[in-house]
Amino acid sequence: MKDIDLDKLVKAIEKGKKVTFFNGAGISTSAGIPDFRSPDTGLYSNLAKLNLPYAEAVFDIDYFKEDPKPFYTLATELMPGQFPPTKFHYLIKLFQDKNKLNRVYTQNIDTLERLAGVEDENIVEAHGSFASNHCIECKEEMSSNTFKDLMEKGIPNCESCKGYVKPDIVFFGEGLPKKFFSSWDDDCDNVEIAIIAGTSLTVYPFASLPSEVDKKCIRVLANKEKVGDLGSRKDDILALGGCDEFAEKIARSLGWEKELDKLYDEGQNKYTTKKESEQEKIEDIKFELKKVDIKESKFKNEDKDEVDIDVSNLIEKLKI
């Protein structure tokens, strides 16, 4: 991004123009979440172990109804709480806190915008997310805690009708959330600054959004490569490179650098502390289990009276 383009963007923000974000999987890769389509490293290229007829079947609603196991296998690797938000996510949070955020349109299902502190009213998850869960048959909602507990034991089933319960992620064969269309009807003609980040702009209708904004809109592409029609308008700004590097540069230019670093460091510390706490619990469990001979998750001890193990304490520690 040229300095003259950066100055133009900063001045527009300082004059009160609000930013609308259009996010793709690339803003989350530095958190450790693989994207879907990158060769060798994308999720689709690493699904061979699930023996799917084709990679995208893991997110196909008809295939899910026949065999939900592959999705739940993948879901355990993507559940919120395992990955911390990135600097780019916290940049969005800063725009919100300073009343300079219009909306966040995201293709991502990882909920990292939410974990960074962006409010629900400001987020449009075009492809749904792990934030809520419903039965695919009777549509009854299930809390995230209950869903997570059931998924650790097997396949979550609805308490009412016994149908499969899945996160409100949009599968192939399902319609996009109503919020996507209603929000875009409100926002389309009012986008003043559009920041398009970490996306290949290949999945529609999301991919068409940046092209539908007003010609006077400043469009900024924060991406490793040029995509869509970005760069074809006189007010377009191309910032080709990493999303976090873009966030750092913008924050520095706006005088938000210390605030961004503080938010990011606090988020990383919270995540690290949680991981350390979980690891300590695991080590405690291992210690307790050494007191009995356990094979294939079954107690093999014959003389239970000689086993010195606090079962209630062990069960409590297993709830991590």
- pLDDT tens-digit series, residues 89-101: 999 999 999 999 9
Q: Which is nearest to 136 in space by CA: 126, 125, 147?
A: 147
pLDDT at 228: 95
Whether 89 is a known active-site residue: answer no
Residue with tokens 């064969």, as numbered in its chain: 173
Q: Does residue 174 lie within any of the structural domains?
A: no
Global confidence as pTM: 0.80
Catalytic residue among 87, 103, 114, 127: 127
Structural contact between residues 226 and 240, judged by C-beta atoms closer than 8 angstroms: yes
Structural contact between residues 221 and 240, judged by C-beta atoms closer than 8 angstroms: yes
Any idea which of 183-192, 225-234, 298-307 has the lowest mean pLDDT?
Answer: 298-307
Q: CA 202, CA 22: separation in Å to the nearest integer?
A: 13
* pLDDT, tens digit (0-9, with 9 covering 90-100), for 236-265: 999 999 999 999 999 999 999 999 999 999
Q: What is the mean pLDDT of the chain?
A: 85
Q: Does residue 261 lie within any of the structural domains?
A: no
CB-based burial of residue 78 (10 Å sphere; 0-12 exposed, 13-18 middle, 19+ buried)?
Answer: middle
Looking at the structure, tell me whether residues 164 and 293 fall in a common domain.
no
Q: Which is nearest to 37 in space by CA: 280, 202, 232, 210?
A: 202
Looking at the structure, tell me whether residues 200 and 249 fall in a common domain.
yes
Q: Which is nearest to 122 in space by CA: 96, 143, 141?
A: 96
pLDDT at 273: 56
pLDDT at 9: 96
CATH code at position 3: 3.40.50.1220
Looking at the structure, tell me whether residues 100 and 224 fall in a common domain.
yes
- Confidence at 54, pLDDT banded by 50, 70, 90: confident
Looking at the structure, tell me whether residues 233 and 299 fall in a common domain.
no
pLDDT at 32: 85
- Domain final position from 202, 236, 255: 255
CB-based burial of residue 13 (10 Å sphere; 0-12 exposed, 13-18 middle, 19+ buried)?
Answer: buried
Looking at the structure, tell me whether residues 96 and 234 fall in a common domain.
yes
Looking at the structure, tell me whether residues 236 and 147 fall in a common domain.
no
E runs forming strands in the chain: 19-23, 101-106, 123-125, 128-135, 141-142, 165-169, 193-197, 218-223, 237-240, 294-295, 298-299
Q: Does residue 43 lie within any of the structural domains?
A: yes
Considering only CA atoms, give the Rg of the chain.
23
Which three-class secondary structure state does DSSP give residue 235?
Answer: coil
Structural contact between residues 163 and 112, judged by C-beta atoms closer than 8 angstroms: no
Which three-class secondary structure state does DSSP give residue 316?
Answer: helix
* pLDDT, tens digit (0-9, with 9 covering 90-100), for 286-319: 566 665 554 444 444 444 444 444 545 555 545 4
Any idea which of 4-13, 42-51, 176-185 has the lowest mean pLDDT?
Answer: 42-51
CATH code at position 57: 3.30.1600.10
Stronger pLDDT, 291 or 192, i.e. the higher one: 192
Number of domains in the chain: 3
State both tokens at 297: 């998750």
Looking at the structure, tell me whether residues 197 and 249 fall in a common domain.
yes
CB atoms within 10 A of CB 302: 8
Looking at the structure, tell me whether residues 155 and 190 fall in a common domain.
no
Looking at the structure, tell me whether residues 194 and 244 fall in a common domain.
yes
- Domain final position from 255, 284, 308: 255
Give the residue numbers spanning the domain of 54: 34-82+128-169
pLDDT at 148: 87
- Domain final position from 255, 280, 309: 255
Q: Does residue 260 lie within any of the structural domains?
A: no
Looking at the structure, tell me whether residues 69 and 200 fall in a common domain.
no
Looking at the structure, tell me whether residues 21 and 144 fall in a common domain.
no
Q: Which amino acid is at 224?
A: K
Q: CA 219, CA 177: separation in Å to the nearest integer?
A: 25
Looking at the structure, tell me whether residues 90 and 116 fall in a common domain.
yes
